Amino acid sequence: MSLNIIIVPIDGLGISLPYTLNYNKLNNNKPYISDDICGKLDNELNNYDGVFEFCENYTGIFENFAKLSFTGQFNHDSCTIVKFWLYDRLFNLPFRDKKVNNDISEIILKLKENFNVPENVKICDLFNFPHLKEDFDKMKSVYDYATNYSTVETYLNDKSFICNQNLSNYINANYEIYINTKNSCNSDNIKNKKYCKVFDYIKGAHINENYPLSCKVKGLETIIDTEGHIVISMEKESSAISEQKDSIPFSNIIMAVIFPLLGIFFFSFILYKFTTFKSWLKSHLLKKKIIQNYEDEEYMQEHLSESYRTDGHHIYYHPS
């Protein structure tokens, strides 16, 4: 039975997952002195990028192994956490033009040749995981799902099982991988596969298979409900108005414009014909015209007087 592993991005889940915190901690481990041995390994694996940086973290873990502390359901099992981190880093060392490696046997051989593993780390048996990426991805997906299960469950309980789309996708995809891998490993023809040992690592983990994790994706309506009902009612009203406008035929629009104009014209005609409005209007217009003529005449008189005074100042006497 072939399983297709879908790697779900963990960005924007809205929650810090234990395995991410654990791997970040290991990525920040660096020794006091590592230039010589890491420079040598970098030269021997010159077809790969990022070897020196990986080597610094690798030697840093050896130095600080006894001090390491982790989170999640398997925080007591430092060996398994380090092994999953180690293989994940090796499979993701860029090889020439490839972004990932499908087989890390060559790299593991060089690590064994160049490093003396400390006694307190030897018990971990670091290199007994599958060397093929497809098999390792199945193991890691199941292990990470079990590691993060309790944290995600607690988070959903606190949030009334409301989540964003990314977290919903992550939960659904990893649950499917977990169930498919378990069913596959329980079949007679595949149960001896190396990646099936992952179920030995996660024994005792809290995973409720009868009631898998699920959540309601936080959408527009959920956001509105948390901010107030006024917004949602306004949106619904606006939507209804928009739909109503779209459904109004053109003939109705014409009628709505013409009828008020006809009403205004008819009302004005009644006032003019059968009331004293006609006499008042004539009287008002005549009075306005008289006032306007008077103002114009007064303005002309003032202008002429001003012109006369101005001309008087320009009269000069010229003796003969």
Average pLDDT per consecutive 10 residues, the chain (320 residues; last block may be shorter) = 44 80 91 82 92 93 92 92 96 78 90 93 93 90 93 94 92 92 80 81 86 84 40 36 45 65 67 61 56 49 45 42
For residue 194, the SS3 value is helix
- Given a contact cutoff of 8 angstroms between Cβ atoms, the answer to whether 120 and 66 are in contact is yes
Q: Exposed e or buried b for every residue in 134-157, given b needs 16+ CB within 10 A?
A: ebbbbbbbbbbbbbbbebbbebbe
Q: What was the pLDDT predicted at 223?
A: 42
CA 221 to chain centroid: 18
Helix (H) or strand (E) holding 163: strand 162-163
Q: What was the pLDDT predicted at 204?
A: 79
Q: What was the pLDDT predicted at 235?
A: 36
- Given a contact cutoff of 8 angstroms between Cβ atoms, the answer to whether 42 and 52 are in contact is yes
Q: Is 75 exposed, middle or buried (0-12, 13-18, 19+ CB in 10 A)?
A: middle
- Given a contact cutoff of 8 angstroms between Cβ atoms, the answer to whether 5 and 136 are in contact is no
Q: How far is 57 from 33, CA to CA, in rounded Å?
A: 12
CA atoms within a 13 Å half-sphere pointing along the CA-CB vector of 257: 4
- pTM across the whole model: 0.64
Q: What was the pLDDT predicted at 147?
A: 93
Reference 57, options 85, 26, 80; nearest CA is 26
Q: What was the pLDDT predicted at 312?
A: 45
